[in-house]
Amino acid sequence: MSSAAQSLPRRAPGAASLAAERAPLVVLGVMLLGTVVVCLCVGAVPVAPGQVAAVLASAIGVELPWAFGEREALVILQIRAPRILLGVLVGGGLAVSGALMQGLFRNPLADPGLVGASSGAALAALTLLVIGGPLVALLPGPLAGAALSLAAFGGGTLAVIIVYRFATNGGRTSVTTMLLSGIAMNALAAAGVGMLVFISNDAQLRDFTFWSLGSLGGVTWSRLGAGALLLCLGLALAPLLGRSLNALLLGEVEARHLGIPVQRTKAMVIFLSTLTAGAAIALTGIIGFVGLVAPHLIRLAIGPDHRVLLPASILLGGTLLLSADLVARTVASPAEMPIGIVTAFIGAPFFLWLLSRDPAGRAQL
Amino acid sequence: MSEAAGSGELRAEGLSFRIGSSELLRDVSIDVRPGRVTAVLGPNGAGKSTLLRLLSGDMHPSAGRVTLDERPLHEWKPQTLALRRAVMPQSSTLTFPFTALQVAALGRIPYTTGLGTARDHAVALGALARAGADHLSHRLYPTLSGGERQRVDYARALAQVWSAEVPGARYLLLDEPTSSLDLARQHELLDSVRSFAQEGVGVFIVLHDLNLAAEYADEVTVLREGAVVCCGPPRAALTASLVERAFSLRVLVTSHPRSGRPIIVPDPTRDGASTPDPGLPATPSLM
């Protein structure tokens, strides 16, 4: 135990290690970019990378020396580009929402579904599908088209708000009570879903089943709309909570000793997690596994520092969802497989394999 | 050396703390002065940790007040307070796989906004070294033994008040920091606490071991059932009669042959009383 007054190690290895902290973000960014390029090129209409570049350049008025047809331009700009943007935003949103919840609950198994975001959305979506038809008929055109998204977003958000209110007493939120009331909320929503399934007809049931498996299909620029804006907002704000979440992992009292406004942090975490998960579900239906696995993969690879974990989860979540969507839309082409099937079918065995090798021994913890 | 003389203190005046009908603390006053190690001693349930939680601002006293630089603790912004005092809890609930170095660097949170700076990194390394835990820096915290974790927790607290970066004295509140350490490590850690105090930091430390307190503390306060039994320098406060009153245990107090500090050993054979009854009130007549 050195007792030399404030002496620091002479050659501070700080700079090298700081570069190491940021390196994963660069690697993940490049991975995401690569996946985006592949997704732009591959599909029912194959487009060469040079043509993709030329199409994108021409969209902003720059001529590149690769020839492309009307068809390629349409496929890239009107079909693949919005779909890829949706994939990046939803994948990033699901992943960051999982990372936030795992940090808040100090449990690597948590996800927004734990506090009712998915089950609330499912109940509201099914309610609309089964008994909401007459109501939708009354809505003006654009609103009717977005009715399922709005219902899902509203249902998920409402469920989390109810759970949050139950767990908050005298201005302080108990995370344990949130978990317990989340379980009750999920049970209640599941009962509601069961009830509606019981009275639904085959077509409604089929619609709901496909919705609950998720899909990025059929998206257009105009349908991205408000949901995409909400996701962008959530993705931009969530990484700012990294420092506070690191402190919260020590415990609430310890975080307060470190000067962290604990209650405000908890409220922000729940708000942003619900916002991102809610908007993601509203846009694509329920896509499982990404929210759980993306942050977990990051922790296995580079540890739990939330200042890196949150942005890294966004990048990896986007990459994973785009890759899954690539499989979903090519494996049974021209038909499209629900993406939830792909995320689980590929994601789960991969995750198990990763757990079994686990070089740093982190999964054992 | 001491930047602290005259720059205020962390002071508790007439603290009482009640939960329902049980009174955990009763009219306790204590001064934690910059450059000094103030230890609080007492049997289980005497209110030591309660006192620490009131001094750190975790809980508000039912009566009395805690002030830092003569300003009530609750008027300080948590962010400002975090630059002035660090708290080491009895045990940590951290289960996420941070390395020991990352845990120590968490002590720098009050100073950073984005990713850590090179200085934060260097401070975390320096704090680990002073806690005798630099060899653990790349180990994962949840895989460490209890004693190893304790040293890393201590390093985190050191890193938080590593140097005077804002005006005013710094304070370190430690809740039984040696409870899981072996004999040599206990002395190493308290030696480091004392040298830190000599740099002008005010240290408040909850201890169980009377001899460690006698050896390292400048002031001791002994609690029993929420009230102060005695306080003062170890030599004055740790007399046989006062220790017997606080702990209901017959003891023999001698002095260290070299430092002259008191050494307290149990002396259960005297008077044939081998199992002292903690329910008994003070037994000064035995002196």
Residue B8 pLDDT: 78
Token couple for B94: 């951290």
Q: Does A3 touch chain B (CB under 8 A)?
A: yes
CA distance A266 to chain B (A): 16
Q: Which residue type, as a one-letter code, is found at position A351?
A: F
Whether A12 and B96 lie within 8 Å, measured CB to CB: no
What percent of chain A has pLDDT above 90?
Answer: 52
Residue B169 pLDDT: 92
**Cα–Cα dist A362/A301, whole Å:** 9
Instruction: Give which of B96, B160, B196 to mutate to test A binding, by max A Cβ within 10 Å.
Output: B96
CB-CB: which of B109, B117, B122 is closest to A243?
B109
Residues of chain B with pLDDT under 70: 1-7, 114, 270-287
Is residue A32 within 8 Å of residue A319, measured between CB atoms? yes
Question: Of A75, A49, A78, which is closest to residue A64 (Cα–Cα)?
Answer: A49
What are φ and ψ of residue B246, in 5° steps? -75, -40
The DSSP secondary-structure symbol of A80 reads: I
Across A2-16, A252-266, A329-343, B44-58, least confident range? A2-16
Q: Is residue A25 in a domain?
A: no
Using a CB-CB cut-off of 8 Å, the residues of chain B touching A258 are 82, 106-107, 109-110, 160
Any idea what the CATH number is for the domain that residue A120 is in? Answer: 1.10.3470.10
A183-218 tens-digit pLDDT: 999 999 999 999 999 999 999 999 898 888 888 988
Number of domains forming the structure of chain A = 1
Token couple for A243: 């420092």
**Cα–Cα dist A279/A86, whole Å:** 11
Question: Of B250, B280, B246, B284, which is closest to residue B46 (Cα–Cα)?
Answer: B246
More confident: A345 or A333: A345
Question: Of A339, A337, A325, A333, which is closest to residue A45 (Cα–Cα)?
Answer: A333
Q: Is residue A11 in a domain?
A: no
Q: Is residue A84 in a domain?
A: yes
CB-CB: which of B82, B118, B120 is closest to A257?
B82
N-terminal to C-terminal alpha carbon distance within chain B: 42
Q: Which residue type, as a one-letter code, is found at position B116?
A: G
Q: Is residue A17 in a domain?
A: no
The DSSP secondary-structure symbol of B140 reads: B
**Cα–Cα dist A212/A144, whole Å:** 20
CB-CB: which of B95, B120, B140 is closest to A106?
B95
The DSSP secondary-structure symbol of B10 reads: E
The secondary structure of A247-280, three-state, reads HHHCCHHHHHHCCCCHHHHHHHHHHHHHHHHHHH
Whether B92 and A6 lie within 8 Å, measured CB to CB: no
Instruction: Give which of A8, A104, A300, A355 to mutate to test B binding, by max B Cβ within 10 Å.
Output: A8
DSSP letters of A19-79? Answer: HHHHHHHHHHHHHHHHHHHHHHH-SSS---HHHHHHHHHHHTT---S----HHHHHIIIII
Residue A13 pLDDT: 46
Residue A301 pLDDT: 87
Q: What is the mean pLDDT of residues A326-341?
A: 88
**Cα–Cα dist A250/A304, whole Å:** 12
- What does each C-alpha distance from A124 to A94, A129, A182, A201, A208 come to in angstroms? 19, 9, 17, 17, 11
Q: Does A175 touch chain B (CB under 8 A)?
A: no
Q: In terms of CA atoms, which chain A residue is nearest residue B96? A: A304
Token couple for A16: 């090298």
CB-CB: which of B56, B94, B123 is closest to A249?
B94
Residue B260 pLDDT: 84
Beta strand spans in chain A (E) = 168-169, 172-173
- Residue A16 confidence class, pLDDT cut points 50, 70, 90: low
Token couple for A43: 């599909």
Q: Which residue type, as a one-letter code, is found at position B119?
A: R
Q: Is residue A14 in a domain?
A: no
Residue B173: which H helix or E strand, with range? strand B171-175
Is residue A92 within 8 Å of residue A284, measured between CB atoms? no
A142-154 tens-digit pLDDT: 777 788 888 999 9
CA distance B194 to chain A (A): 10
CB-CB: which of B85, B94, B110 is closest to A250?
B94
Q: Is residue A218 in a domain?
A: yes
Q: SS3 of B147, please?
A: helix
Is residue B151 within 8 Å of residue B66, measured between CB atoms? no
Q: SS3 of B41, please?
A: strand
Q: In terms of CA atoms, which chain A residue is nearest residue B1? A: A5
CB-CB: which of B78, B102, B125 is closest to A259?
B78
Q: Which residues contact B149 (CB under 8 A, 6 or more apart)?
A: B91, B92, B141, B180
Q: How many A-B residue pairs are in contact by the CB < 8 A criterion?
A: 130
Q: In terms of CA atoms, which chain A residue is nearest residue B95? A: A365
**Cα–Cα dist B125/B141, whole Å:** 15
Whether A299 and B132 lie within 8 Å, measured CB to CB: no
Whether B126 and A7 lie within 8 Å, measured CB to CB: yes
Q: Does A275 touch chain B (CB under 8 A)?
A: no
**Cα–Cα dist A173/A180, whole Å:** 13
Using a CB-CB cut-off of 8 Å, the residues of chain A touching B107 are 258
Residue B105 pLDDT: 93
Pairing of strands A172-173, A168-169: antiparallel
* Count of beta carbons in the 10 Å neighbourhood of residue A13: 13
What are φ and ψ of residue A26, in 5° steps? -65, -45
CA distance A9 to chain B (A): 6
Question: Of A7, A13, A8, A28, which is closest to residue A309 (Cα–Cα)?
Answer: A28
Whether B98 and A256 lie within 8 Å, measured CB to CB: no
Is residue A93 within 8 Å of residue A235, measured between CB atoms? yes
Bridge partner list, B18: B23
Residue B210 pLDDT: 92
Parent domain of A161: 39-364
The DSSP secondary-structure symbol of B99 reads: B
Whether B92 and A256 lie within 8 Å, measured CB to CB: no
The sign of the CA dihedral A164, A169, A173, A176 is negative
**Cα–Cα dist A333/B280, whole Å:** 85
Residue A363 pLDDT: 53
Across A5-9, A159-163, B13-17, least confident range? A5-9
Residue B4 pLDDT: 40
Residue A361 pLDDT: 55
Token couple for B140: 């994962």
Q: Is residue A120 in a domain?
A: yes
Mean pLDDT of chain A: 87
Using a CB-CB cut-off of 8 Å, the residues of chain A touching B129 are 1-2, 9
Tell whether the model's pLDDT for residue A359 goes beyond 70. Answer: no
Q: Is residue A81 in a domain?
A: yes
Q: Which residues contact A347 (CB under 8 A, 6 or more apart)?
A: A289, A290, A293, A320, A324
Whether A251 and B92 lie within 8 Å, measured CB to CB: yes
Whether A258 and B116 lie within 8 Å, measured CB to CB: no
Whether A256 and B93 lie within 8 Å, measured CB to CB: no
Residue A302 pLDDT: 87
Is residue B83 within 8 Å of residue B121, measured between CB atoms? no
Tell whether the model's pLDDT for residue A360 goes beyond 60. Answer: no
Tell whether the model's pLDDT for residue A57 goes beyond 70. Answer: yes
N-terminal to C-terminal alpha carbon distance within chain A: 29
* Count of beta carbons in the 10 Å neighbourhood of residue B14: 13
